Structure 1
Amino acid sequence: MTPPPARRRRTGAQGSAPAHNLPRRGTVRRAQVITTYGIGSLIAVDQESFVVSGLDEADRSWSDNESPRIHERRLARLLDVDHFRLPPASDDKSRDGLRVRRFPLMHSCPECNDLQRHRDFNPPAGRSVCGTCEADLVPSRFVVACESGHLGEFPYWQWVHRSTDRSAAAAGQCGGKLKMRTSGRTSSLRSILISCTCGKAPEVSMEGSFRRNALKDLGLKCHGTRPWLGTSAPAQECGLPLRTLQRGSSAVWQPVLKSALSIPPWSDGRADPLAEHWEELRKLDSRAEVEMCLKFAFKGEIPIPIDEVMELLDAEREEDSDGESDPTLDHRYRALRNKEYERLRSGNDESEHSHEEQFVCETPLGDQSVLLPLGVTGPMLVKKLREVRALKAFTRLADPDSTTESKEMPLSGSPLRWLPAMEVRGEGVFLRLDNDRLGTWEKAAAVAARVERMRTAHQRVLEQRAGDPSSVVPSPATPRMVLLHTLAHVLINEWSLDAGYPAASLRERLYAADDMAGVLIYTATSDSAGSLGGLVAQGEPDRLDRAIRSAVHRAEWCSSDPLCVESEASGTGGTNLAACHACVMLPETSCEHNNILLDRALLVGTPEDPRLGFFANVLEQ
């Protein structure tokens, strides 16, 4: 997907030039800056291609009006920042917006077939056309990247001269000019032909350039280039193997997102003025010291009562990772989820809080005993919900995972005390599985054997992606986690049919651990499918009972059966079993785990072993 075409050039008051005099190249939505066109990603606008610039200059270019601050203390503490900022929402009168830089620099002309840097075509100011032919220039379709997140130009010189003197080719000293043409015989890489006018190398095609070792065989390694930070950012020698990628490939950029729900006592917004002072306050021991610190910071007028400040400090200390002297991000994120699970279980009543309360979770009025035969308990209606989703970093070539932090690429060249984020206000339904029944089911040998196959495959994938094998964390695949994950997927599919919600507008949030077995399904967008009450209505026990039964019966059969249900391995690296796009997989925006660790056989069983499924008794009724 590409953004809309560029709009007219911006002007200031009385038609004067804008403050920075930068032409507008296109528009993107705020949510896309977090999920699709974030920092370091490639974005296509009409016939041009750009890389989204880093955040080093954002403090100056992002105005407070167009890019306001948002606060979520629990997530800010997890990511070690003071606050978050919404990406700039700009219009024709805006001073600035999201900065981009031209990338890749290599372009070709479809008329004269020249292949060279954009500036060497001598294009007129503000246009991307060949200075000789007046034809629109075509950005290079190919880029190179490494698993550490670096990005670079495809080495056309080396590719053409691979059978000649590589040192001269690397320095561009052969004396010729590169040409690119298409034979037109096929649409494959074999039809894209590269040549050099020096005559020392034969014309070669791009076939084979995507082989894993294609560039390694040429003696090429990553030089650590980071074009999104500009030419001022020095390249750090990397040395990792380079891979050729299509410019529009999803492997070029994958966001590393972290999110948190706003839960009491942080969900009424009263603590926001103290956002930049919590680290200092946590170092103080007594109430008197806290009061003195705040009076000094706020010139004597503390924005909230000191009693509430002390309660907030106590709540924050409760969320510290127990038993961990130096907790990792994964441990701290797990502690954050534990607190959310406790709050979702206990709930709170809207009538007991102010209008500013952003979290309202109530027990449904209907008879919950109808859910007992299903093994489902504790449904809660989350009538008001706020989630903050922050872009922490990004990866290339590999999906982001908690074990690959060493391969995450930061959003700026220098450390920042804030991150770009978006907030979603919506509603949801929370439910839990009966602990006794779940405990008996997950001890079954057949269940454990199926999940062990998935866990082994996932662990192997994690080890392959990790930079340091000794730092690989265990796979989260357990019987209850896979069961909850698959149940969430079939419920989202069911509600997308029954309640009229697009599947992409719903999202799962899993709570799976030894002491947790719950799932929250909530609206994941802030548009018209956000908070209209339709999803909350599905949490009433009688409706929830019908939805679960219908979803389980629907999962009993897949249009790809028997291949799907009898599959020995599917998905990325064999991390799924009985799961495909025809039955339980969801849009990427809805799934927390990139559509892996799914198996509908754990819901409904298999033809050989129907009792394998947690909901097998539902199918017998």
Structure 2
Amino acid sequence: MTDNLLDPLGDAAALSESGAKKNYAKVGSARPSSLLYNYGPGAIMDLPQFTVMPAGLDDWDRIWARRDGIPRIHAPRLQAAVRTLMGTDRTELRPFPWQAKKTFMSSEGNDLGVPSRVFPQWLRCTGCDFLAPIPRFSYRNTHPYRTDEACFEHHNCPGRAEERVSRDKTPNRKRPTRTAVPARYLLACVDGHLDEFPYDAWVHHWQKCSKDSHPRLKMLDRTSGKGASATILCASCGQKRPMNEAQGEVGRSKLPGCRGRHPHLDSFDPAGCGNETQLMLVGASNLWFASTQAIIVMPESQARDEEVADQLRIDLQDGQELDTDAELLEWLTENGDQPKLLRVSLGKRPSTAFSDAELAAAVKVLLAPPPPESERKRRKENWDPIELLIPEWRYLQKDPLGRQHDGSDADKSGLVLSRRELDPQLPKHFSRVLAAEKLRKVNALIGFTRIDDMDRVDDLPKRLVPVTRAEKPMWTVATEDFGEGIFLQLDESWVRAWEARVKKSDIWAAHEAAHRLNFERRFSETAKNVDHLDRLPKPRYWLVHTLAHVLIREMAMTSGYSAASLSERLYAWEEGSDRPAAAGLLICTTAADSDGTLGGLVQLSEPARLQKIVKDALHRAERCSSDPVCAMRTPKAPEDFLHGAACHCCAMASETSCERANRFLDRRFLIDLPGNNLGFFSRA
């Protein structure tokens, strides 16, 4: 473990004070949604001239320390889920450290940003192929408003052979300065560790160079960067070794074992790592998979006592400078039963708006002993993502009191609903339509994985890489998205009868068999006592999921939004002891860096428009340009794909729209296709 400080602004200021040429700290920018889902802590972000890795959340605390207060995102239900999954008693949700500028040239927010490390730290000169770590190059970032010009440079570059011949003809010609770019090879393991590729040891076959203790390396690549096409050359001793020897199963046997490195935390796993490593490219799509949880904030989904307790804790810590939980508990034990003293201590902070009874209940919550570790572990092991959806479904079953009803807590939930009448020509299978004029979606980062996403049967808890060095993190990063949507609910009696019929069909038996194969091929110790059917969504989920996709495609043509900007939220499960049956979907569009959206999606919820969209979507689902192959697609052993009559020509959507990576889709469950009569909407 190491404790190296990461302070980009401090480093830039120190360089300036030492008389060195000004190098600014800012090297790029990204949208909040991009930083959450694509380039969070531990990911590699491409900049114009080099790549950086956002640091772990420990290093973000120095950024927030520049401000008097730290903003929090209010979403108690999501916060409770985050605490369960991260194994903590309290975890705050904080936004990205950012502040809007009044003008392009103003300086507001210059002291905020996401701290990042340059990674990988081996660079290659574009002029002479010189391969070396960062200290062998110089860094330039001298323009305050042109972060795209930040780069690493190789001074006095000798150039390649043909350039040297040309330069010899003009003896007085100076050697040029060339840009250095990242050497694109890395080592990764299935438990999320990432490391630099050992070029020096690789080219010398894990021996030392026979000619030089610090050999001069080159990376020769003339094929436009296709795969592991480069060759590493030691200019000191003349040895060469191609990188393609490190590819594939055979290549893994030639690579070193994993050292357990987490570069975003600037640390190594104290328990070590015994896994094999595999070659990974810097721009590989499987280098980083975010593990996130999200909710649509509903007014009645918030636990009042927990909400007041969280706000009281924040206000007391800010006002009384109580930095640790122990200090807070000690202060509350001595003063928590004195309402007047409590209000004096709070000053003018938000908690003073609560009544004495609410504050007393909040103090009781804060002083309550935390659940035992065994209980916390049990909750985490038995946690079901549906727990986040059930409160939303229950609230959506209630009729708004009027048009654009904003609930009882709209200032915090941000939800504004309107009931829509059902058009007489709308299929009778629909029982309810709501227009979400405004909604707020909150997304939180839990951790991440590498090589494979967490949505696999053979997942081990250790595969989820933490975003902080702390065993029990005090906060995690989250985003607030504001937008609009349409909620459609299917009639439960229709769904129940249709589902019973589908479960007896040969098509459903084929899907079950394919899922079993998929399950067994990813079998591990974590799945020994798991029935594969527990992981297979019920037919109603396939129905609702496929319906959402064909509606997204149709709505994109008339809403003014692209299909990739529309997303689904599915409510589809059978009745259980702790939940009512659900069959509905919310199609929404949200933005994390604006106050809302344009309203084009909500307009489609008007009865006549919605009826036409549903009719056209189902009509288009009858035909696919890949038919009859698509229409007849049913998995048969040894196939284990998790979809039926669905492809990118008819029912599949972009990865930003689909919550299940285009699995569990089948047009035959929507409408009758040749050879089957299972269409839900074919029997009106």
TM category, shorter:
0.7 to 0.9
Q: Which of these residues, 101, 105, 109, is aligned with residue 121 of structure 2?
A: 105
In structure 2, the partner of 1:394 is 448
In structure 1, the partner of 2:246 is 209
In structure 2, the partner of 1:45 is 47
Q: Which of these residues, 95, 98, 119, is aligned with residue 135 of structure 2?
A: 119
Q: SS of the counterpart of 1:179?
A: strand
Alignment of 1:509-548 (within 5 A): 509-514=569-574, 515-526=581-592, 530-548=596-614
- Following TM superposition, by how much is the alpha carbon of 1:608 offset from its aligned partner in structure 2, in angstroms? 1.4
Distance (whole Å) between structure 2 residues aligned to residue 95 and residue 16 of structure 1:
20
Q: Which of these residues, 286, 295, 303, is aligned with residue 260 of structure 1?
A: 295
Q: SS of the counterpart of 1:425?
A: strand
Q: Which of these residues, 553, 563, 566, is aligned with residue 493 of structure 1?
A: 553
- Following TM superposition, by how much is the alpha carbon of 1:34 offset from its aligned partner in structure 2, in angstroms? 0.9
Q: Which of these residues, 65, 73, 78, is aligned with residue 76 of structure 2?
A: 73
Alignment of 1:43-442 (within 5 A): 43-62=45-64, 63-64=66-67, 68-80=71-83, 81-90=90-99, 93=107, 94-121=110-137, 127-133=151-157, 134-162=177-205, 166=206, 168=208, 176-184=215-223, 188-189=226-227, 191-197=229-235, 199=237, 201=239, 203-215=240-252, 217-218=253-254, 220-230=256-266, 236-265=271-300, 274-275=309-310, 292=337, 298-299=343-344, 302-305=352-355, 326-328=378-380, 331=383, 333-349=385-401, 350=405, 353=408, 356=411, 358-360=413-415, 362=417, 364-367=419-422, 370-373=425-428, 375-401=429-455, 404=459, 405-414=461-470, 415-442=472-499
Q: SS of the counterpart of 1:533?
A: coil
Cα contact 1:143–1:244 (8 A) shared by 2: yes
Cα contact 2:71–2:94 (8 A) shared by 1: yes
CA distance change for structure 1 residues 123 and 221 in 2, over 3 Å: closer, same or farther? same
CA distance change for structure 1 residues 128 and 540 in 2, over 3 Å: closer, same or farther? same
Q: Which of these residues, 539, 547, 569, is aligned with residue 479 of structure 1?
A: 539
Partner deviation per Cα, 1:121-168 (whole Å, 9 max, x = no partner): 466798511133121112111212111111111232344344xxx354
Aligned-partner residue type, residue 131 of structure 2: L
Cα contact 2:257–2:276 (8 A) shared by 1: yes
Distance (whole Å) between structure 1 residues aligned to residue 187 and residue 527 of structure 2:
23
- Following TM superposition, by how much is the alpha carbon of 1:70 offset from its aligned partner in structure 2, in angstroms? 1.1
CA distance change for structure 1 residues 66 and 104 in 2, over 3 Å: closer, same or farther? farther
CA distance change for structure 1 residues 33 and 357 in 2, over 3 Å: closer, same or farther? closer
TM-score by length of 2: 0.75
Identity of aligned residues (%): 29
Show structure 1 runs of 5+ residues with no match. Answer: 1-8, 281-288, 315-319
Show structure 2 runs of 5+ residues with no match. Answer: 1-10, 84-89, 142-149, 158-176, 315-324, 326-333, 347-351, 365-370, 575-580
Q: Which one has a bigger Cα radius of gyration? A: 2
CA distance change for structure 1 residues 324 and 138 in 2, over 3 Å: closer, same or farther? closer
TM-score by length of 1: 0.81
Aligned length: 581
Partner deviation per Cα, 1:494-548 (whole Å, 9 max, x = no partner): 1111222222222111112112212111123256794443322323443332222
Cα contact 1:70–1:86 (8 A) shared by 2: yes
Distance (whole Å) between structure 1 residues aligned to residue 441 and residue 119 of structure 2:
33
Distance (whole Å) between structure 2 residues aligned to residue 333 and residue 429 of structure 1:
22
Distance (whole Å) between structure 1 residues aligned to residue 294 and residue 62 of structure 2:
26
Cα contact 1:225–1:235 (8 A) shared by 2: no
**More moved, 269-278 vs 65-74:** 269-278
* 1:32 has 2:71 as partner: no
CA distance change for structure 1 residues 573 and 221 in 2, over 3 Å: closer, same or farther? farther
Partner deviation per Cα, 1:438-483 (whole Å, 9 max, x = no partner): 122222322522431453355346646x867557983242211111
CA distance change for structure 1 residues 191 and 32 in 2, over 3 Å: closer, same or farther? closer
Alpha carbon RMSD of aligned pairs, Å? 4.1
Aligned-partner residue type, residue 135 of structure 2: R
Q: SS of the counterpart of 2:669?
A: helix
Distance (whole Å) between structure 2 residues aligned to residue 102 and residue 472 of structure 1:
45
Distance (whole Å) between structure 2 residues aligned to residue 147 and residue 338 of structure 1:
33
Aligned-partner residue type, residue 79 of structure 2: A
Distance (whole Å) between structure 2 residues aligned to residue 487 and residue 387 of structure 1:
22
CA distance change for structure 1 residues 494 and 208 in 2, over 3 Å: closer, same or farther? farther
Partner deviation per Cα, 1:409-436 (whole Å, 9 max, x = no partner): 1111113211111111222221222222
Distance (whole Å) between structure 2 residues aligned to residue 172 and residue 107 of structure 1:
23
- Following TM superposition, by how much is the alpha carbon of 1:581 offset from its aligned partner in structure 2, in angstroms? 1.9
